[in-house]
Structure 1
Amino acid sequence: MSAEKPSSSPGTPLKASDSDTENAQVTQLETGGQRSKIDEKKTLRKIDLHVIPIVTVLYLLCFLDRGNIGNAKIEGLIDDLNMTGQEYNMCLTVFFFTYAAFELPSNLVLKRLRPSIWLPIIMIGVGIVMTLMGIVRNYHGLLISRIFLGVTEAGLYPGVAFYITMWYCRHEAQLRQALFFSAASVAGAFSGLLAFAIAKMDGVGGLEGWRWIFILEGILTTLVAISSFYFIADYPNTAKFLTEDERAWVLRRLREQYSGNVQESEKFQWKYVWDAVTDFQIWLALITWYGMVCPMYGISFFLPTIVRDLGYTSSQAQLLTVPIYVTAAIIAVVSAYFSDRIGKRSPLLILHLSCISIGFLIVISSAGRSVPGVVYFGIFLVVCGIYPALPGNVTWLSNNLAGDYKRAAGMALHIGVGNFAGAMSSNFYRAQDGPQYYLGHGLELGFSFAGVVAAVALRYAYKHVNKKREAMDIRSLTEEEKARLGDKSPTFRYMI
């Protein structure tokens, strides 16, 4: 099945071979009674350069701030704050309660407010909370700061994931989502290097090294967030870096990327949220999301500890996390490129989810047998499955939600409820279970396998609905009725 491309006439989707955005050089566009030539590849490159880099940097800093507590842990955080392992896990857990609760409201605000205002505000809050985390004096101070970190971070990932869909058609979105999300894996690598260097500041200013990890990374986030006010473009219809004809071309292709125009009221209505809540695909995608997010948070919070417990020093453990994350970032981008090219999401997504399960099987079977290299390889395989799978899952769902408000609500609901996985997985790895961590690895294996099953089920559900719609008699529906049905329209085809 080829990817659907924007067509010049609504309701008539073209195959990739008919109108390939990657290969076509020029499009004829008629605006205001005059015909203009649009260089498609040049216009997309302009969008890429103005949209992707700044949100990628913001997410890199966001994920760096979220996960650096794992680096701080092995540099003495628990001992200096007189915390138990259970209290540390609770600090990880409470983050996700506020993080999940505020994602949907944040995305609805983003739809009404300019991204160039809302996204920087989010990141300024993240930077301030992270900086203050460096001066906490006890368990309760760290716990409260993690609660507020969840509040401030909540809107960034679902906000940017939705923001990308407002610029790119669904057949080209996964590569951009992967480029953006690869910041998470780069943050994992960068976090280890940065923590290794900053920890050498132990004693500077009378502060422990782990405090400087929070303080310096928080200050950096705040400074970049302030500057991002000037770099984030809002939406295509107001983009100053595009010409008037280019804006018209971008808007037309976004409008016509489905089998017919998809329209909804410009005014927010709660029915769009309810449409998302009652949509089967969001809940199946949510189980798939758990299959990769539980392992992701378990790994991001505990990877330095797991590697250290293989017999390495804290400094060696910090550095050994770097090649894992760098490789995962490369695989995520390459996988997304091929997914966009073939116009299918599920085959590679299921492959990556399977890699997570296989990786945990290797880890469990090798743990406790004095073969740290094999355990390290298993962890390597897990991470290299997680980071390509995440943008694949998000893109697949966003491709199949039509209508801006429904897509914004659906993506926030999917990611928000899905991030309760972090609250669970932050308690999977207990200090008393080390160095084998059979309980944690076993639970992660169970979730990853459930993710594979859900992804396969969603694929077959989409195929069944598409086949059913092909047999439907749509002659009684007007074009306006079809458009207002969004992804429930009989002319809408789910991307497989």
Structure 2
Amino acid sequence: MEKPSYEEKASEGSVVPDQLFRPEVDTSNVNEKKLLRKIDLRIIPWLTFMYLLNFLDRGSIGNAKLYDLTTDIHVTDKQYLIALTVFFFPYALFEPASNVFLRKLRPSVWLSVMIFCWGITMTMHGVISNYGGLITVRVLLGFFEAGMYPGIVFYISSWYKRSELGTRVAWFFSSSTVAGAFSGLLAAAIANMHGVGKRPGWAWIFILEGLATVVVAFFSYWIIQDFPDTAKFLTEEERVFVIRRLQEDMQFSAAGETFHKKYVYKGLTDWKTWVAMGIYMGFDGPLYAFSLFLPSVINQASYKATQANLLSVPVYAWGCFMTCIIGFLGDRTGRRYYINLGLFGVGLIGYIILIASTKPALSYFAVYLAVSAIYPIIPNSVAWVASNVEGSYKRSVTLGMAIGFGNINGAITANIYRATDQPWYRLGHGIVLAYIAIGFACSVVFGVLLQRENARRNRGERDEIIEGVNNKHADEKNGRYESVQAARIDKGDEWSGFRYTI
């Protein structure tokens, strides 16, 4: 029987080209540091700005509530909590599929369309007049915003080495803390437009922020770059250099990957996906509780509406600072496991104080501990999970699943700060404390299992049979391949030579 041709095998995803990507291209004149700065400037700032708008639009309802949103549209406290809840169902459920579409389509197209659609939806928040309208716009906003966060994370992971990922994710995610701080200032300023066009101040918060997002969507199509193998702002030599350095970092799919159902299946059945879902649950639940209710928590602790919004500014500024510092330390030390445990530990202390506190000043201090844990732990965990999953489609599924499951918990934490529990909200703080404990436990499981798997590979227990290679540890159950390159591309992070980062 005639053996299949190289082209046939390549189309099946069972082999890769030469070990050195495009060996005919000379990249000796490419300066790596200058190239990284060039990529940083073209990729990160606009992603950061987009996510700032994303988080600002999503959480502005918390600020609008302080300016009589619920009173004007005749919504009860229970109905308001339901409106917050319904946002998370389409938001979480659409995330895994969105990441697959992002990989199949161009990021410049997919991300821009999402921004435009949620900008229109955000603007419509300003014209609602009843409970039904509020529910409708919140569901649509959740649907259209769904792919932004996992899409940006996956997109960044396609450009940088594993040791560079944490800092870049921290840079873009720090915009969420800026949005938290800026939303309070912006809401306080826009609320002064009360009565303009016969619209209340809270309506103008939604309208102006929504229109700004629509404008950004048009610019995004031209500014967002696609993946390294097609990026127009890079020279041919630079594109080849970027792909080679990613492949050297065990990102074997950096040069592109043909879609196969098995890659999606691998992502869905990988134990790392399911444990990562627990880690993301541990910080996403607290994140949404914190961002949606911080103004109310401060407000009910003896501070007035505008004062509460303004007092949230330094809290978020501190969170931004800590996010950037932890992102840098994670890349520099490579000890993301221990950083996760330390941050979750700080979060546990912060919420224990919030539960026990009966003084506004002490509660305000504990909020700083909470933000020191919740925001910095997100980019550290994202980088940790993303760097331990190889294969672009598999990584897109794993990140989509983990982030989606984490976000669905926002549907729970949107309901835990009840008006009947004011001013100290001990029930809400207790539930957030439980979430953080789950994140801590899942981080321990993730780290221990990765260490055990690395040890098995060091002992040769995962070695594949490679034709023409004499290896006493090789076992048929681990697969049979014609070359090391074929094993690498087919197995991804399951390849015996892949080592997980701890």
**1:395 aligned partner, one-letter code:** A
Aligned equivalents of 1:253 and 1:400: distance in 2? 17
Question: Would the alpha carbon gap of residues 34 and 233 (structure 1) be closer, same or farther in structure 2, given more than 3 Å must change?
Answer: closer
Aligned equivalents of 1:35 and 1:74: distance in 2? 57
Question: Would the alpha carbon gap of residues 235 and 314 (structure 1) be closer, same or farther in structure 2, given more than 3 Å must change?
Answer: same
Alignment of 1:152-167 (within 5 A): 152-167=144-159
Aligned equivalents of 2:97 and 2:434: distance in 1? 31
Give how far 1:476 is off. 2.1
| Paired position in structure 1 for 2:448 | 460
| Paired position in structure 1 for 2:495 | 489
Retained in 1: the 8 A contact 2:229–2:256?
Answer: no
Q: Would you say 1:49 and 2:15 are equivalent positions?
A: no
Give how far 1:267 is off. 3.0
Secondary structure of the corresponding residue to residue 38 of structure 1: coil
| Paired position in structure 2 for 1:408 | 396
| Paired position in structure 2 for 1:345 | 336
| Paired position in structure 2 for 1:306 | 297
Q: Would you say 1:433 and 2:457 are equivalent positions?
A: no
Alignment of 1:128-139 (within 5 A): 128-139=120-131
Aligned equivalents of 1:462 and 1:263: distance in 2? 23
Give how far 1:227 is off. 1.0
| Paired position in structure 1 for 2:306 | 315
Aligned equivalents of 2:115 and 2:158: distance in 1? 21
Q: Would you say 1:71 and 2:77 are equivalent positions?
A: no
Alignment of 1:97-496 (within 5 A): 97-258=89-250, 261=252, 266-366=257-357, 369=358, 371-472=359-460, 474=463, 476-477=465-466, 478-479=483-484, 480-496=486-502
Listed as ranges, the gaps of 5+ residues in structure 1 are 1-8, 12-28
Listed one character per residue, the Cα deviations across residues 25-53 of structure 1 (whole Å, up to 9, x for unaligned) are: xxxx9953646322111000000000001
Retained in 2: the 8 A contact 1:263–1:486?
Answer: no
Secondary structure of the corresponding residue to residue 67 of structure 2: coil
- Count of aligned residue pairs for this structure pair: 467
Question: Would the alpha carbon gap of residues 403 and 313 (structure 1) be closer, same or farther in structure 2, given more than 3 Å must change?
Answer: same
Listed one character per residue, the Cα deviations across residues 135-161 of structure 1 (whole Å, up to 9, x for unaligned) are: 001011000100000110001111110
**1:83 aligned partner, one-letter code:** V
Question: Would the alpha carbon gap of residues 214 and 441 (structure 1) be closer, same or farther in structure 2, given more than 3 Å must change?
Answer: same
Give how far 1:329 is off. 0.8
Aligned equivalents of 2:25 and 2:274: distance in 1? 46
Give how far 1:241 is off. 2.0
**1:400 aligned partner, one-letter code:** N
Aligned equivalents of 2:277 and 2:255: distance in 1? 25
| Paired position in structure 2 for 1:15 | none
Listed as ranges, the gaps of 5+ residues in structure 2 are 1-17, 467-482
Instruction: Give percent identity, aligned residues only.
Output: 43
Secondary structure of the corresponding residue to residue 238 of structure 1: coil
Give how far 1:393 is off. 1.1
**1:349 aligned partner, one-letter code:** N
Aligned equivalents of 2:488 and 2:232: distance in 1? 33
Give how far 1:262 is off. 5.4
**1:489 aligned partner, one-letter code:** W
Give how far 1:451 is off. 0.8
Give how far 1:77 is off. 0.7
Aligned equivalents of 1:270 and 1:125: distance in 2? 29
Retained in 1: the 8 A contact 2:243–2:255?
Answer: no
Question: Would the alpha carbon gap of residues 54 and 35 (structure 1) be closer, same or farther in structure 2, given more than 3 Å must change?
Answer: closer
Aligned equivalents of 2:273 and 2:444: distance in 1? 14
Aligned equivalents of 1:85 and 1:76: distance in 2? 12
Retained in 2: the 8 A contact 1:30–1:36?
Answer: no
Listed one character per residue, the Cα deviations across residues 292-316 of structure 1 (whole Å, up to 9, x for unaligned) are: 1111101111111100001011010
Give how far 1:358 is off. 0.8
Aligned equivalents of 1:268 and 1:35: distance in 2? 29
Alignment of 1:16-31 (within 5 A): none
Aligned equivalents of 1:265 and 1:348: distance in 2? 32
Retained in 2: the 8 A contact 1:264–1:404?
Answer: no
Retained in 2: the 8 A contact 1:297–1:425?
Answer: yes
Q: TM-score, structure 1 length as denominator?
A: 0.91
Listed one character per residue, the Cα deviations across residues 415-440 of structure 1 (whole Å, up to 9, x for unaligned) are: 11221110010011111111111110
Aligned equivalents of 2:464 and 2:23: distance in 1? 31
Question: Would the alpha carbon gap of residues 385 and 33 (structure 1) be closer, same or farther in structure 2, given more than 3 Å must change?
Answer: closer
**1:32 aligned partner, one-letter code:** E
Question: Would the alpha carbon gap of residues 66 and 251 (structure 1) be closer, same or farther in structure 2, given more than 3 Å must change?
Answer: same
**1:45 aligned partner, one-letter code:** R
Question: Would the alpha carbon gap of residues 416 and 34 (structure 1) be closer, same or farther in structure 2, given more than 3 Å must change?
Answer: closer
Instruction: Compare 113-122 and 338-347 and name the one that shifted more.
Output: 338-347
Retained in 2: the 8 A contact 1:103–1:413?
Answer: yes
Retained in 2: the 8 A contact 1:298–1:422?
Answer: yes
Retained in 2: the 8 A contact 1:263–1:484?
Answer: no
Retained in 2: the 8 A contact 1:264–1:403?
Answer: no
Aligned equivalents of 1:273 and 1:425: distance in 2? 30
**1:408 aligned partner, one-letter code:** S
Listed one character per residue, the Cα deviations across residues 248-289 of structure 1 (whole Å, up to 9, x for unaligned) are: 11011112212x845898332222222111111111111111
Retained in 2: the 8 A contact 1:174–1:391?
Answer: yes
Retained in 2: the 8 A contact 1:363–1:375?
Answer: yes
Aligned equivalents of 1:290 and 1:33: distance in 2? 45
Retained in 1: the 8 A contact 2:252–2:390?
Answer: no
Q: Would you say 1:81 and 2:73 are equivalent positions?
A: yes
Retained in 2: the 8 A contact 1:466–1:494?
Answer: yes
**2:398 aligned partner, one-letter code:** G
Aligned equivalents of 1:251 and 1:356: distance in 2? 38
Aligned equivalents of 2:207 and 2:253: distance in 1? 47
Aligned equivalents of 1:165 and 1:34: distance in 2? 25
Retained in 1: the 8 A contact 2:27–2:241?
Answer: no
| Paired position in structure 1 for 2:476 | none
